[in-house]
Every structure is written in structure tokens, then in C-alpha cells.
Amino acid sequence: MPDNQRHQPIELAKSYRLLNHGPVTIVTSSHNGERNIMAAAWAMPLDFDPPKVAVVIDRNTWTRELIEASGRFALNIPTRAIASQVLAVGASSGREGDKFAALGLETFTGSSDLPLVAGCAGWLECRILPEDSIQQRYDLFLAEVTAAWADPQLYSDGRWHFPTPDSRTLHYIAGGAFFVTGDELAL
């Protein structure tokens, strides 16, 4: 289980707030002792209660094969501190070896056996809601969020707070370039 000093449980009905600002995510999956990881820039909240998300997962990935076999995945919200690993995760395949180990990514587990990436700002465990037509046509997966956590140093009172440049979340542009989340504007 997550360490509550670094992984504060988030009320499921409010878990959409972890993704609402449009960050890059790292998708993790596992099945029968195999695990993998991939980057996904197209992930978004979809519903509140029960909370749902949508994420695009390419049909040619090992991650997708594990997701389809297990029916589960996790969305990890990385920070600038691990941007180089995020880029590397998105540029390599896990079919030939353990990408977590190759990239020096530590993991922990939440309420299931899904690997969650240490050093991220937030984590959402998800269960697939099968929609074969959109999965096949658009590579779009719908899922219910079954558990969520955030780093309490970065998320409290229902919103993000980024005290240092390296703690900010990432937004992928293209060609290896990212933006980082900027300053809060409260009106």
C-alpha cells in the first residue's frame, strides 16, 4: 500500500482533478507477472461518479496487450524531475526487457498489483469499461477509477501546488519537447 506521507488518498469523486489540467501520463500495466510502462499524452477525466477516464493506448504496444489481458491499468502523473525517463518510456518497447529497471524507475503498489511509479505527483488505478468499437477504431479506452492518490506536498485542498520547478507536471508538445505546468491564476 502507498505510504500516506507521500501518497495521500484522493476521494474518488474528486479524482478527476488530478487530470483536469491535462498532464502527460505514464500508463502502467501488469498481468501474470509481466509488467510494462508507456507514455500517454492523450488522457482525460470523463465523469465524476463513478469517476471515469479516457486514454489513447496504441494497439501495437506491449502495455496494451497486458491491459487487455488484465482489464486494468494505472495512470501515473510524472513531474519535470523525471522528464528524461518519461521521454525514454515513450521511445522504447518493453517486449525485450523490463523498462522500469532499464530506466531506473522505482515502483510501489496501491490497492492492486499494478506498478505505480515513485516520484510522480499523482496516481490513478483504473478498471477498463469495455467499448470494443472505440478501442479498435480509435485506440481509445474508457475506464473507471478505482483508487487514487497524490503527493500531499503537491496536491492539497483539492488542487495542485507546485513549490519547485522540478515538481511541476509535464505537457507533451512533440519531437521530445514538453511544457511544464505554469503558475496558478486564481480569480
Cell 488522457 found at: 43
In a domain, 186, yes or no: no
Looking at residue 154, which CATH number applies to its domain? 2.30.110.10
In a domain, 156, yes or no: yes
In a domain, 151, yes or no: yes
Q: How many domains does the chain have?
A: 1
In a domain, 154, yes or no: yes
Report the alpha-carbon distance of residue 94 to residue 67 in Å, rounded. Answer: 14
Domain housing 36: 8-180
Do you know the residue count of the chain? 187
87 in helix, strand or coil?
Answer: helix
pTM score, whole prediction: 0.94
pLDDT of the chain, 187 residues: tens digit per residue? 555 568 899 999 999 999 999 999 999 999 999 999 999 999 999 999 999 999 999 999 999 999 999 999 999 999 999 999 999 998 877 888 899 999 999 999 999 999 999 999 999 999 999 999 999 999 999 999 999 999 999 999 999 999 999 999 999 999 988 899 988 888 8
In a domain, 2, yes or no: no
User: Grid coordinates representing 119?
Assistant: 516520484
Q: Are 117 and 37 in contact (CB under 8 A)?
A: yes
